[in-house]
Homo-oligomer: A and B are copies of this chain.
Amino acid sequence: MALDIGILGYRFMGKAHSNALARLPMFFPDAPEINRHTLVGRDEEALAEAADELGFEHTSTEWADVIDEVDAFYNLGPNHVHAEPSIAALEAGTPVFCEKPLAPTLDTAEEMRDAAADADVPAGNAFNYRFVPAIQYAKGLIDDGELGDIRQVRGSYLQDWLVDPEAPWSWRNSKELAGSGALGDLGAHTVDLARFLAGDAAGEIARVSGHLKTFVDERPVEGEEETREVTVDDAYTAQAEYENGATGTFEASRVADGHKNDHTIQIHGTDGSLKFSLERLNELEYKRADGRGYETILVTDGSDPYVEHWWPPGHVLGWEHTFVHENYEFLSAVRDGEEFRPSFEDGYEVQRILNAVERSDESGQWVEP
C-alpha cells in the first residue's frame, strides 16, 4: 500500500523533495510506493500552480488538516514555521521529515526533539549532504578505522551571493525569520557533516569559540526605495574541541567572492586524511596510511554507496541526487518502523553547537554546547 505524503512548502526545498519522490520508483524500486498526496501553503493560487508542477493530487492551506491524513509529513517551509506543524504531526503519530536547521532557536529545537522522543515514528532532519556517495564512502573509511584516531576536523562553507552591498534584503537576512545567517543556514550543514563523519570516532564537540560578522548592515528592499536592517551574520568562524581532544575549525561566508556553493570538509587522523568539496561532489580526496599524497577518487563505481541505483562508473551525479537518497532512507524507515538519521535529536545537537557558537560570540569566551 502506498504511503501518502503531505508537504508543507513548495519553493526550493519543496521542489527538491518532490523531484526526489518522483524519481524513486524508477531508480529505487525497493523504496515504498508513495503518493504525492497534499501540498500545503498559504497562497491558494501559487499553491495550485505548484501542486500541478510538482505532481500533487490535493492542496490545502491548513496544515492542521493534513497532518493526520497523510502517512508522512514533510515540513519544508521557512525555519520559523518548522516547529508547530512538526510537533503537531508527531503528536498525531505521523512521521515527520523537516528541513534544516531544525528551528530558529535552541529552545524551539529542544521542544521538537522532545516531541520526536515522545513519538513512536521517525522524525528526520533533512541534512542531505550525509547522502552524497563520497561522504558515505568517507564515513565507511572512518568507521573501518582507516584514518586511525581523529585529530583534526576542518569545515568551511563559502558562498558569494551577498558580496555586493546592493544585493537585496530577503528573509534570510532577518534574525526573526531565519534565526541566524550563514551560521544557521550553512554552518548547520557543516556541523552535521562533521558530526556524521567524525562523531563516532572523536565524540561530540565539547566546547567552541565563535565569531559572527555582519559586513553589510542594511540592504535595499527589492522594488522599494528603502533599505532594511540585516540582523544576522554574513559569515561566522569557530574553533572547536572534541570529547577525544581533537580540534576543529569551522566557518561559513556569504561574501566569499568566487565561491558559489563551496562546502568543504577535511579530516586528519593518525593514519590518514580525507578532503571533500561539494562543488566536486563526485570526488573524494583520500590520503591512505601507505600512500604519499591524496588520491582523487571518483566515487561512482557500482560498489560505492547508492551508485548501483544510477549509472555506470564515471557518469557523475548532481546535487539533487542527495535528496533521492535521503528520501529513500527516510521512507524506508517509515515503512519499516525503523530509526532514521539524521533525526530531530541530531538536528537538536547541531543547534546546540550553533547556539554555543553564538553564545561564545557574545561572551568572548569558549563555551560548552
| Chain A residues with a Cβ under 8 A of chain B | 12, 15-16, 18-19, 22-23, 25-27, 29, 53-55, 151-152, 154, 159, 161, 163, 165, 209-211, 213, 215, 235, 237-239, 241, 245, 247-249, 251, 253, 255-262, 268-273, 278-282, 286-287, 291-298, 300-301, 310-321, 364-366
Contacts and interface: CB of A to CB of B under 8 A. Distances in A.
A313 B55 contact: no
- The quantity of this chain's copies bound in the complex is 4
B161 A313 contact: yes
A19 to B, nearest CB: 6
B319 A315 contact: yes
Nearest to A241: B211
Contacts of A281: 316
Contacts of A241: 211, 213
B245 A273 contact: no
A149 to B, nearest CB: 9
Contacts of A269: 257
Contact of A249 (B237, B255, B295): B237
Contact of A29 (B53, B239, B255): B53
Given A237-B247, A247-B211, A300 B260 contact: yes
A292 to B, nearest CB: 4
